[in-house]
Structure 1
């Protein structure tokens, strides 16, 4: 019990200061704890992002020294499905579209890109436009991009990037600017780590029974750096060391079926004569 009012007031102030001290210590402890928890969460998230990059990196567009339109910019349809491409790839395959014809400006080329994607998805029943990239009107267009397996060269997609020069290049060549952009795009792929530094450049006809990329363009690319005369035709695919055993097994089975069909046809022809 207080002797007088002054003693009571002093005691009350001591109790209040003690309460304030305890409260301040507890609040400080809680703040420090919250800061440590926040730091741990941030470190965990940043580490996860660094070690596990997202599959969809559509918005992480590299900077090129030529005009480049992303899928969003040409209003591409979303893919039905995607499969990751193992990079760096050892081959680059050059194509021509044949149809649609050559485009001369952005609007025409956007229509060409949409036309190819619609044909590949709605008629061919592929997951997306087949090419990794396309070039026309002095601009490059993102198809499936660097990271996704293409559908441009049967049995050869897993080891290559497919680049299509929009138009029919059987008798004439794309513009000098388009040809330069194609080479610059390949160089960018090497610099970014998506294409092997010792890659081999080939035309589509070297891995498939087709006239693509057209006689004129095919003759042109034979003057480019890294052009490889091997494989010379699709019949050489079994000797391509980069192809997997499973792909080669499929090729062997197809070859056996073709040989069996030829043998039956030859026997029938002999019987007829």
Structure 2
């Protein structure tokens, strides 16, 4: 199924080419179908699959995408909800995930932040949320992944302050960034540029609101903004992790071509 190899000499640059298990929708029976990569990001497996997953990745570089084998009680993460029960559930699951990630030898953990599509002003709990993420960053290296549609937290300055205060790093999700730039009218390139000294990873896939409804994580898009972002980031010292999902295949080869040529 997959024959793409990471065979280009990086010339000493620390850039790594990675793939998320979203490509196989974290199906443990399809692990052998994953493309060869320098880094793997392990997504939403079931607890009963853990032994099989760890056997496959034991000699490979990998990170964990929270909640990994755990599940949030309310399905989606709610790190900035004003509902204390939802927020505590999210932190509890993230902490279990962080402890497991460290135990199994993961390099880092990805955590979505803040709540997606949140209209309510949650800044009254901001300091508490910072303390929770500081605690998680003390367990394992944490990469905060930007979400979209949070009315009170979406600018590069918002993220920069949060990262400085918590010790976390940044995973820029290109799809989410394109959606947020559309909602709030900012430049995705300026967003990345302002956070460049915190960026350790990019999630690479395409999104606009119509495409997101059909494909969730589409491999590719021809929008001017998407192509400009891909050109801007290609020389970053970071992990470039492909994160398409398998329901839409159109453009998949273009995504791999970009990745292969980094």
- Normalising to structure 1: TM-score of the pair? 0.28
- Normalising to structure 2: TM-score of the pair? 0.29
- The structure whose Rg is larger is 1
